[in-house]
Amino acid sequence: MTTAAHTPSSGAATGPANSRSRVITASLVGTTIEFYDFYAYATAAVLVFPALFFPAADPTTSLLTSFATFGAAMVARPIGAVAFGHFGDRVGRKTTLVVSLLVMGIATFLIGVLPTYNQIGVWAGIMLLVLRLAQGFALGGEWSGAALVATENAPTGKRALYGTFPQLGAPLGFIIANGLFLIINFSMPGEAGAPSEAFLSWGWRIPFLFSAVMVIIGLWVRLKLVESSTFEKASAKGAIKRFPLGEAFRRYWKQLILGTFIMLATYVLFYLLTSFLLSYGTKAPVAPETYDAAAAGPWVPGLGFSYVQFVLMQIIGVVFFGIFTLLAGPLADRIGRRKLLIGVTIGIIVFGALFPVFLLPQGAATMPLTLVFLIIGFALMGSTFGPMGALLPELFPTNVRYTGSAVAYNVSSILGAALAPLVAVVLWAWGGGNPWLVGLYLSAAGVLTLIALILSRETKDVDYDEDLVAAEATVL
């Protein structure tokens, strides 16, 4: 690799223009809002979108169609990564972050006012898909910008710690989005834990409309930012590229490939624990008497929890996600990103093999095992996700750091997040309700990530100022 020398980072240590509290708040609040918007859609994709936007005789087909629109956003994310990465490396981090937040906020609010299939037919699903693509486009530029704001302003030796703050947006966004859905569900109870008529009519719209309030708060915080000193130094040295994407692919293609596969197991793990397991966990362990197998196909059993039960267990698990995200940062600063992630990835591979031990379709009697399963899974998730806020940006020099880290992060979203719920539903059906094939899928993703980590090198001592010297010699 050609990115940098191995000396402690000195760029941020010279005195960032942004205060520590401003950096932490701006990197945390933006990603929290962005992930809140994303998870609100993920929850609705299981609860309401199959019935309201993609009705079908076969419930599995309806769920797959809903997950397909969910996955479409992952396809849009690399496009957003290229667009926002270009301007983030050309114009600066601050402006790009403000625009990405606005795009995500507007798209999410508009989902909350969409007409349904019963009102406008197939156009409802098409409009939902367009807005979902806009969400993915915005998130494609959000994460890398937030990670760069945190790490480019971090004190010496604390980049991984600072890099965990934008990562915390994922568990916080999940808890807020699903907590709000739970509150609404409690306020509008249906029969046997199913969503009520009022919830399906208008209650589901509230979390999407509420995002407008959160976006206003996020914009207020981010508009107070000033550009990072690292980017300003690159600009002053004339190291800014006219076409960062071309430079990233021409000189740093190995880092792009490694970064993509280093993120793969993280994505697969998270979307199996959230989107897929919400559908698996809330489906009856046996076919209900009203189910018409002849018309809709074979029944695929689940765990038999109510929506409220399972989301509460997920929220408990996500608390551990947040805790282990914070713990992983200082540990990665101490022992290195690579060594920590190799150990965690081996844990993910083993965890995938244990799916059949924990997830047996036996109804409410499996609640303790299921909760332990979710806690272990989300603890692994925090341990692997936390160091990514530092590791991926460290693979690239300052003048292509936004583009490079964004492309690697978001191309991995296609291979991992976009496919994970779809592949898992198919494997779940093939397994007749036993999730052993789903676990095998996670373990396979872990093996690919482990190979990428073994082929990579340690980045904790990369010096961002040394990056500028290397970049200056190759100005276009």
pLDDT the model gives residue 203: 86
> Does residue 327 contact residue 384 with C-beta atoms inside 8 Å?
no
For 39, 251, 394, 422, the CA distances from 462, given in Å and listed in that order, are: 34, 17, 7, 38
Query: Is the whole model's pTM more than 0.85, yes or no?
Result: no
User: Does position 131 have pLDDT exceeding 70, yes or no?
Assistant: yes
Instruction: Reduce the secondary structure of 33-56 to three states and give it as a string.
Output: HHHHHHHHHHHHHHHCHHHHCCCC
Q: Are 111 and 49 in contact (CB under 8 A)?
A: no
Phi and psi torsions of 46, nearest 5°: -90, -45
Is the distance from CB of 92 to CB of 236 less than 8 angstroms? no
Query: Binning pLDDT at 50, 70 and 90, where does residue 284 land?
Result: confident
Place of tokens 């999407």: 208
Segment 217-242 shows an average pLDDT of: 77
Q: What is the pLDDT of the chain when averaged over all its residues?
A: 82
Residue range 53-59: mean pLDDT, rounded: 67
pLDDT band at 440 (very low <50, low <70, confident <90, very high): very high
Please enumerate in sequence order all residues whose Cβ is within 8 A of that of 253, keeping only pairs 6 or more positions apart, or say none: none
* d(C-alpha 153, C-alpha 428), whole Å: 45
Mean pLDDT of 248-276: 93
Q: Mean pLDDT, to the nearest integer, of 207-213?
A: 86
What's residue 10's pLDDT?
41
Per-residue confidence (pLDDT) for residue 366, from 0 to 100: 75
Which of the residue ranges 63-77, 124-138, 284-298, 445-459 would you say has the lowest mean pLDDT? 284-298
pLDDT at 352 over 50: yes
If we measure between CA atoms, which residue out of 385, 6, 2, 435 comes closest to residue 167?
385
Backbone torsions φ then ψ of 462, nearest 5 degrees: -60, 135
Is 22 or 118 the better-scoring residue by pLDDT?
118
- For the segment 147-158, the average pLDDT, to the nearest whole number, is 87
What digits encode the pLDDT tens for the residues 41-51? 777 877 778 77
Q: Which domains does the chain have, with CATH numbers?
A: 12-472 (1.20.1250.20)
Rounded CA-CA distance 110/238 in Å is 41
Q: Give pLDDT, residue 321.
A: 96
- How many residues are listed for the chain in this entry? 476
8 Å CB contact between 1 and 457: yes
State the Cα–Cα distance between residues 111 and 53, nearest whole angstrom. 12
The more confidently predicted of residues 420 and 297 is 420
Question: Long-range contacts for 108-114 (Cβ within 8 Å, ≥24 apart)?
Answer: 108/37, 108/40, 108/41, 108/135, 108/208, 108/211, 109/208, 109/209, 109/211, 109/212, 109/215, 111/41, 111/208, 112/205, 112/206, 112/207, 112/208, 112/209, 112/211, 113/205, 113/209
